[in-house]
Chains A and B, each alone.
Chain A
């Protein structure tokens, strides 16, 4: 009896930091934000409960267009990242051996040793009108005058894909690694072409990893701030910018809170949809990630 209580106490003490962490940093602010998002300013310094902040979102086209654009671009970025990461992960998991494998993973990790801001500035140095690529294009005669590669959707997508790649490669490589080589060989042995083996054996096996990677990359992309702002400039139009503007520029916290809640709703809805469409459960997916 006492032993049981003692072990319960130990368990509680062990879990305490995690519970505190979750409670203080995640649950509490979100409850706060939720409450805040439902308060409307009725007079200076007087707030009342209401749905006004949410109504504002739907009536102002700039807001919901930015919102839809963010959702669409994030899905696009996730898909592109998946397509790019799959062959890399396949190589790391199935071809590379020993030191080469460790080196390749390290290579993927390397960009993350500098902060996101610096990484993005690096892209700016490459892409801007007076930047490296523009100069190179001119010097080999492919362009007559300086070319501006920054401040367009392409640049934003490039930066976001680059930032998401590692988070896609790791769960994918993990999933692919657990595929028994003999199963792949059996796929060929029974007459399957490369494409058939990929489609019917490798991809279904890697599905939990694919979904895990996509969820992570999607969440990181939707919530990204620096990359769309710096690489997209005025044309970036990312929803996080709207949240930032409400909180910091306009000092309209309730409106910002409503936007924050909407963004949370968006990521949750898309993740749920993704899980449903691929027939994966959150449990197996989390195991992969």
Chain B
């Protein structure tokens, strides 16, 4: 039967001794999809990836590629290829030989393998690099060789384990876009793991957020950002203001959270006795005059404690009465508050919809 998914992970668990590195994880990846697994260091991403590639064996559960179970299939027989975190190019071979390696393993003749490797190198923008040694390449070029080496085999699925981790910031930004474009032109399914949320948000069609061996939420970047399902997702994906308090009564669909200082904020969600509330910096409206924040249910006054200038990602920290932590807001770079200075009094406010409340 033809399968409509490229990869199915069914209740996969991997234990090292008593520690569950991957704990009952299930998900599916559709053909042509760019699927990312995002999680903090040590949450089990690499372990999951290595099980798909065939270097670790799940303690329980099933891994299916195009509907075929991969349990018991050795790594060199699986239709998946991996881009390693360290890239793991073969230093004893030239660039061309690196790319042709997989083809010759499949019994493609030397001449044809070389020709196909040459064409692949051309497609990733490394025309004429075939004779170079891999040690004589820049970081970005090596990256492309590692990907070309996989793509030339036309695998069902390409696994990428933090492949941009070793690059400097500028190149990383560049490679993000390039990777996404490559994936588009080859129309190959990518499973990408990273602990960098911006990488995941920019490139992915869908993201799974992983924490301590479990999936917290799977969804599109927008879904994760705007509708986090758990407090972990809310705080791990993107910048946010985190408030802790007691859930109090709610009016017209909103829930109120009483902060330790007695201040009350209103948001959407549910909370038992203890509640966590999150609001994104860009949802925080600023004004010099409280009247212009007129109908917002959450209104507070404060004083600018720091201006963190970072171009388009600049923000303001505002010491707000009733809050233990300063509130983070986006630095206004147009309008009446342009050029706001540390110490300036300011009013902050946000809607109840912008504030997500979870039971702590």
Interface residues of A (CB under 8 A from B): 180, 182-183, 185-193, 196, 200-201, 204-205
A186 & B90 in contact (Cβ 8 Å cutoff): yes
> Which of A189, A191, A192 has the most chain B CB atoms inside 10 A of its CB?
A189
The interface residues of chain B lying within 8 Å CB-to-CB of A192 are 76, 101-102, 105
Say whether B88 contacts A191, CB under 8 Å.
Answer: no
In the assembly, what is the distance between CA of A183 and CA of B90, in Å? Answer: 6
Considering the chains assembled together, what is the distance between the CA atoms of A209 and B56 in angstroms? 30
Residues of A within 8 A of B88 (CB): 180, 182-183, 185-186
| In the complex, B47 has a CB within 8 A of chain A | no
User: In chain B, residues 68-83, which have Cβ atoms closer than 8 Å to a Cβ of chain A?
Assistant: 74-77, 80-82
With A182-B84, A185-B75, A185-B84 known to touch, is A190 a contact of B105 (CB < 8 Å)? yes
A185 contacts B90, CB within 8 Å? no
Q: Is the CB of A190 within 8 A of B102?
A: yes
A-B contacts, CB under 8 A, total: 65
Is B86 interfacial (CB 8 A cutoff)? yes
- Measured CB to CB, the residues of B under 8 A from A are 53-55, 74-77, 80-82, 84-86, 88-93, 101-102, 105-106, 149-150, 153
- A186 x B84 contact (CB < 8 A): yes
Q: What chain A residues lie within 8 Å of B86 (beta carbons)? A: 180, 182
Q: When chains A and B are docked, how far (Å) is the Cα of A186 from the Cα of B81?
A: 8
Closest A residue by C-beta to B80: A189
Q: How far is the CB of B7 from chain A (nearest CB, A)?
A: 16
- CB contact under 8 A between A189 and B92, given known A196-B105, A200-B101: no
Contact B105 A191 (CB under 8 A): yes
Q: Shortest CB–CB separation between residue A74 and chain B, in angstroms?
A: 28
Q: How far is the CA of A191 from the CA of B150 in the complex (A)?
A: 10
Q: Is the CB of B92 within 8 A of A190?
A: no
Give CA–CA (A205, B150) in the complex, Å: 22
B105–A189 touching, CB < 8 Å: no
List of 10 A-B pairs having minimum Cβ-Cβ separation, nearest first: A190-B102, A182-B88, A204-B92, A191-B105, A186-B88, A188-B76, A182-B84, A188-B75, A183-B88, A192-B105
Known A190-B81, A190-B150: A185·B101 in contact at CB below 8 Å? no
Q: Which residues on B sit within 8 Å (CB–CB) of A180? A: 86, 88
The answer on a CB contact under 8 Å between B76 and A191 is yes
Bound Cα distance A25, B351 (Å): 90
Complex contact B82–A186 (CB within 8 A): yes
Give the residues in chain A near B75, CB-CB below 8 Å.
185, 188-189
Return chain A residues, CB-CB under 8 Å to B89: 183, 186
Known A185-B75, A190-B76; 4 more pairs at CB < 8 Å: A183-B88, A183-B89, A185-B55, A191-B105
CB distance from A288 to the nearest CB of B (A): 15
Given A182-B84, A196-B105, A200-B101: A189 in contact with B90 (beta carbons within 8 A): no
Sample 13 A-B pairs with CB under 8 A, ordered by A number. A186-B88, A187-B101, A188-B74, A189-B75, A189-B82, A190-B76, A191-B76, A191-B106, A191-B153, A192-B102, A193-B105, A196-B105, A205-B92
Are A201 and B76 in touch, CB under 8 angstroms? no
